[in-house]
Amino acid sequence: MNTPIEPNLRLGVNIDHVATLRQARGTRYPSPLAAAFVAQSAGADSITVHLREDRRHIQEQDVRELRQALGIPLNLELALDETIIALAEELQPHACCLVPERREELTTEGGLDVQALSESVAEACGRLSRAGCRVSLFIEPEEAQVDAAEAAGAQAVELHTGRYANLSDPADLGREVERIAAAARRARSAGLEVHAGHGLHIENVTPIARLPEIVELNIGHSIVADAVLMGMAPAVARMKGVMLGARRRAPSRSAV
């Protein structure tokens, strides 16, 4: 009997919006750290937080506590901001993901323009790598951005699935999945680890989870939203189950 192939797809649970709920009332609850522990016990492979310049949800103290107490990798999302890069150098999370940031945006709208910001991105990649962090760049699924990410010295790219998540026409969706797949293939063949995320939920995750080059999905808003109704552990376990089910049914990974 053949040994089943381990579906190589990790779930990073983004807990920013647990902190959003806490900040809405200035309380001490709900605790992002407690949510991270529940997510971990339910199958999360890593925990992601975005320490924004405006501190609208996650606070520096949250990052410190998570860094100290988590048993699974911590992925810190950060902008090209000197104070936060210096904090990442000090705390040395397992992974750092560089993202664009605009104060007025509701969430991270669009990927980092690594082509336009090549010098500052390369400098940040160097600093964070020397601090021992695996550096990924949150980019639009475009081949030019993948090439720029490789040139900047990143170890991984996270492909922005926000556009995919906003589409509803099946033909448009098919084209966008192919755009993401092409960027994933290019990144993988350049030796980069490939992640994806933004706007993914239980109904739309399958076509992305099936792409064999993608090894990590970072999902936040929909998991926290589901957690409000069903609890954090079932929400995480359900997402992980759907992701892995999709991957098991996907065509096998091509040799790279």
Identify which of 75, 95, 69, 61 has the alpha carbon closest to the alpha carbon of residue 15.
75
In the 8-state DSSP scheme, what is residue 171?
H
Q: Which of 198, 210, 240, 247 binds ligand PXP (CB under 6 A)?
A: 198
Does 160 participate in catalysis according to the annotation? no
198 labelled catalytic: yes
The answer to whether 17 is a known catalytic residue is no
* 221 touching ligand PXP, by CB under 6 A: yes
Stretch that binds ligand PXP, among 21-29, 54-62, 124-132, 192-200 (CB under 6 A): 192-200
Choices 23-31, 166-174, 185-193, 196-204 (CB under 6 A): range interacting with ligand PXP: 196-204
When asked if residue 218 is in the footprint of ligand PXP (CB under 6 A), the reply is yes
Residue 71: name the closest of 94, 103, 98 by CA. Answer: 94
Residue window 13-32: x/- pattern of binding to ligand PXP, with contact defined by CB under 6 A:
-x-x----------------
State both tokens at 96.
Answer: 């750092």
Catalytic residue among 17, 57, 77, 101: 77
The C-alpha atoms of residue 162 and residue 116 are separated, in whole angstroms, by 21
Nearer to ligand PXP, 90 or 105 (CB): 105
Q: Does 199 bind ligand PXP (CB under 6 A)?
A: yes
38 within 8 A of 233, measured Cβ to Cβ: yes
Q: How far is the CB of 255 from ligand PXP (least distance, A)?
A: 28
Q: Is 193 helix (H, G, I), strand (E, B) or coil?
A: strand
User: What b-and-e string marks burial along 158-177, b requiring 16 or more CB atoms within 10 Å of the CB?
Assistant: bbbbbbbbeeeeeeeeeebb
Question: Is residue 23 within 8 Å of 51, Cβ to Cβ?
Answer: no
Q: Least Å distance between CB 183 and ligand PXP?
A: 15
Helix or strand or coil: residue 63?
helix
Task: Please identify which of the residues 50, 57, 160, 195 carries the catalytic annotation.
Answer: 50
Q: Which is nearer to ligand PXP, 70 or 96 (CB)?
A: 96
**Binding of ligand PXP at residue 158 (CB under 6 A)?**
yes
Provide the 10 A C-beta neighbour count for residue 224. 23
Helix 32-41, helix 16-25: angle, nearest 10? 150
* Residues designated catalytic: 50, 77, 198
**Interface residue list for ligand PXP (CB under 6 A):** 14, 16, 50, 77, 97, 99, 107-108, 138, 158, 197-200, 218-222
